[in-house]
Amino acid sequence: MTTQHDEGNADDEHDAARERHERYLREHVPLAAFMQVSVLEVGADTVAVSAPLKPNVNVHGTLFGGSGAALALIAAWSLLHTRMQAEHVAASLVVHRHQMTYLRPIAGRVTARAGFAAGAAEWQEFAEALDRKGRARIVVDATLLDDAGQAGAQLSGEFVAVRR
């Protein structure tokens, strides 16, 4: 039986993980600091980050495409990075390739929500391949959302991890 106290502890743990990862991004990824990235959610199967328009604006007053791609990559990489930390997986993680599709302009704060392309089971296959071979690939998708929750762009990114 879950008690209100248990739920409060889980919320505190999620808040601590979110704050810890935001601090990590600001200290280790200078672009994230410049873009004013904030971490909204850190979960086992999803991560959401957000950034204001002002430092990421283009000449048309909407989100600069490069900032959108960077924010989506930060969300996708963060999903893997935080999951690897939580499961004590020691490996170097880099983006191998990505594709970005822009659907419409975003004219305000932008949120990037990342998740596993093939579903949560993909993580297990990735972790097992990393254990067996010392190297693994995984695809993470991220969607850029405007303030109303409408999709403005989609990223598909392939990441490679190499055991340290």
State residue 14's pLDDT score. 81
- pLDDT tens digit sequence for 10-48: 778 888 999 999 999 999 999 999 999 999 999 999 999
pLDDT band at 151 (very low <50, low <70, confident <90, very high): very high
For 58-81, what is the mean pLDDT? 98
Residue numbers of the domain that contains 103: 4-163
Q: Which two tokens stand for residue 26?
A: 């600001």
Look at residue 37 in the predicted model and tell me its pLDDT.
98
Q: What CATH code is carried by the domain that includes residue 105? A: 3.10.129.10
Mean pLDDT (whole number) for 112-141: 95
Task: Give dist(CA 130, CA 149) in Å, integer.
Answer: 35
Terminal CA-to-CA distance of the chain, rounded, Å? 40
- Rounded to the nearest integer, the mean pLDDT of the chain is 94
Judged against a pLDDT cut of 90, whether residue 114 lies above it is answered with yes
**Region 71-87 average pLDDT:** 97
User: Total structural domains in the chain?
Assistant: 1
Q: Is the pLDDT of residue 142 over 60?
A: yes
d(CA 4, CA 118): 34
Question: What's the whole-model pTM score?
Answer: 0.92
